[in-house]
Structure 1
Amino acid sequence: MNIAVPLAARADNLIAACPSCGSGDLTGIYAQDDVPVSSCLLFDDADAALQVDRGDIRLSHCAGCGFIFNAAIRQGASEYSERYEETQGFSPTFSSFHTALATDLIERHDLRGREVLEIGCGKGEFLLLLSQLGENRCTGIDPSAHPHRIEGIEGAQRVRLIPEFFSPELAQQQFDAIVCKMTLEHIVPTLDFLRVVREGIVEGSRPLVFFQIPNALRILADAAYEDIYYEHCSYFTAGSLVRLFEKAGFAPLRVLHQYDDQYLTIEATVGDAPPLDMADDRAEVAALAASLAGRVAAKQADWAARIADAAAAGRKIAIWGSGSKAVSFLAALPDPSQIGAVIDINPNRQGHAMPGTGHAIVGPDDLAAIRPDLVIVMNAVYRDEIARDLAGLGIGAEIAAL
Structure 2
Amino acid sequence: MTDDPTPGTRCRACGGAAGTVVLDLGEQPPWDRMPARDAPLPDPAAPLRMWLCAGCGLAQLQTDAAVAEELHGVEPLAMTEQSDRSVGRLARAGLVRPGGRVAEFGSPHGGSWLPRLTGRGMVALDADAVSAAGRADLVVDFYGLLHEPDQADALARRVALLAPGGTLALQLLSLGTVLRDDQWFDLRHGHYGYWSLPALDAALRRHGLGVHRAWWYPLSGGTVLVTARAGAEPDAGTRRLVDEERALAVTEPSGFARLQAAADDTHLLLDWLVAERAAGRTVAAYGAASRAVPLVCRAGLDASLLAAVGDASPAKQGHRMPGSDVPVVSPDELAGLHPDRVLLFLPELLDEVRAALPQVEASGGRWVVLGPGPRAVEPVSALSGC
Q: Give the TM-score taking structure 2 as reference length.
A: 0.82
Partner residue in 2 for 1:130: 117
Q: Does 1:67 align with 2:58?
A: yes
| Distance in 1, Cα, partners of 2:269 & 2:255 | 21
In structure 2, what is the equivalent of residue 45 of structure 1? Answer: 37
Q: Rate the CA distance shift 1:372–1:23 in 2: closer, same or farther, 3 A.
A: same
1:399 maps to amino acid: W
Q: Report the residue type matching 2:231 in the other structure.
A: D
Aligned partner of 2:149 among 176, 179, 188: 188
CA offsets 1:194-219 (integer angstroms, 9 cap, x no match):
123223434xx222211112122221
- Matching residue of 1:99: 84
Task: Name the residue aligned to 1:222.
Answer: 181
In structure 1, what is the Cα distance between the partners aligned to 2:340 and 2:258? Answer: 34
Instruction: Report SS of the residue matched to 1:264.
Output: strand
The amino acid of 1:129's aligned partner reads: R
> 8 Å contact 1:14–1:71 — kept in the other structure?
no
Conservation of the 8 A alpha-carbon contact between 1:215 and 1:257: no
Q: Quick one: distance in 2 between partners of 1:245 and 1:23? A: 16
- Residue 344 of structure 1, CA deviation: 1.0
Task: Tell me, yes or no, if structure 1 residue 236 matches structure 2 residue 202.
Answer: no
Instruction: State the partner residue of 1:365.
Output: 332
- State the Cα deviation string for residues 299-325 of structure 1 (Å, max 9, x = none): x12111111111222211111100101
- The counterpart of 1:111, out of the listed 97, 101, 115, is 97
Between the aligned partners of 2:356 and 2:319, the Cα distance in structure 1 is: 21
Q: Say which SS state the counterpart of residue 267 (structure 2) adopts.
A: helix
Q: Distance in 2 between matches of 1:15 and 1:290?
A: 24
Q: Counterparts of 1:377 and 1:14 in 2: how far apart (Å)?
A: 39
Match of 2:367 in 1: 399
Q: Distance in 2 between matches of 1:23 and 1:369?
A: 53
**What is residue 31 of structure 1 aligned with on the other side?**
24
- Report the CA distance shift for 1:263/1:195 in structure 2 as closer, same or farther (over 3 A): same
- Matches of 1:180 and 1:226, distance apart in 2: 22
- Measured against aligned partners, the alpha-carbon deviations of 1:8-47 in whole angstroms (never above 9, x if no partner) come to xx9964553332234443111111222122x234544330
Q: Does 1:78 align with 2:67?
A: yes
> Runs in 1 of length 4+ with deviation above 6 angstroms?
none
Q: Choose the corresponding residue for 1:356, options 306, 320, 323.
A: 323
Q: Which stretch of the first structure deviates more once superposed, 365-374 or 280-289?
A: 280-289
Tell me whether 1:339 sits opposite 2:306 in the alignment: yes
Structure 2: how far apart are the matches of 1:26 and 1:282? 20
Residue 232 of structure 1 and its aligned partner are, at CA, apart by: 1.7
Of 376, 386, 391, the match for 2:353: 386
The AA in structure 1 aligned to 2:84 is T
Answer yes or no: is the 8 Å Cα contact 1:352–1:360 preserved in 2. Answer: yes
Query: Partners in 2 of 1:127 and 1:15 — Cα distance?
Result: 40
Question: 2:20 matched to 1:54?
Answer: no
What is residue 281 of structure 1 aligned with on the other side?
246
Matched, 1:174 2:139: no
1:211 lines up with 2:177 in the alignment:
no
In structure 2, how many angstroms separate the alpha carbons of the residues matched to 1:297 and 1:359?
21
- Cα distance between partner residues in 1 of 2:7 and 2:355: 46
1:314 pairs with 2:280: yes
* SS of residue paired to 1:45: coil
What percent identity do the matched residue pairs reach? 21
The answer to whether residue 222 in structure 2 is matched with residue 262 in structure 1 is yes
**Offset of 1:86 from its aligned partner?**
4.1
Instruction: Supply the distance in 2 between the matched residues of 1:66 and 1:11 (Cα, whole angstroms).
Output: 15
For residues 219 and 262 of structure 1, the distance between their equivalents in structure 2, rounded to whole angstroms, comes to 8
Work out the CA distance in 1 between the residues paired with 2:285 and 2:126.
33
Q: Do the aligned partners of residues 189 and 116 (structure 1) sit closer, same or farther apart at CA in structure 2, a change above 3 Å counting?
A: same
Instruction: Report the residue type matching 1:194 in the other structure.
Output: L
The answer as to whether partners of 1:354 and 1:360 remain within 8 angstroms in 2 is yes
- Computed over aligned residues only, the root mean square deviation of the Cα atoms, in angstroms, reads 2.7
Once residues 178 and 325 of structure 1 are traced to their aligned partners in structure 2, the CA distance between those partners, rounded to angstroms, is 27
Deviations 1:251-281 (A, max 9, x none): 3211222234432221012x32325644271
Cα deviation, 1:65-112, whole Å, max 9, x if unaligned, reads: 3321122224xx223x4xx234452x2222222222222223422333
Tell me by how many angstroms 1:118 deviates.
0.8
Whole-angstrom distance in 2 between the partners of 1:171 and 1:214:
31
Q: Please name the residue that 1:323 is paired with.
A: 289
Cα distance change of structure 1 residues 295 and 350 upon mapping to structure 2, 3 Å threshold: closer
How many pairs align?
354
When structure 1 is superposed on structure 2, of 251-260 and 324-333 the one drifting more is 251-260
Q: Cα offset for 1:57?
A: 1.3
Q: Output the CA distance in 2 between the equivalents of 1:241 and 1:395.
A: 48
Where does residue 149 of structure 1 map in the other structure?
A: none
State how far apart, in whole Å, the 2-side matches of 1:138 and 1:303 are.
Answer: 46
TM-score under structure 1 length normalisation: 0.79
Which runs of no fewer than 5 residues in structure 1 stay unpaired? 1-9, 142-166
Q: Please report how far the alpha carbon of residue 343 of structure 1 lies from its aligned counterpart in structure 2 after TM superposition.
A: 0.5
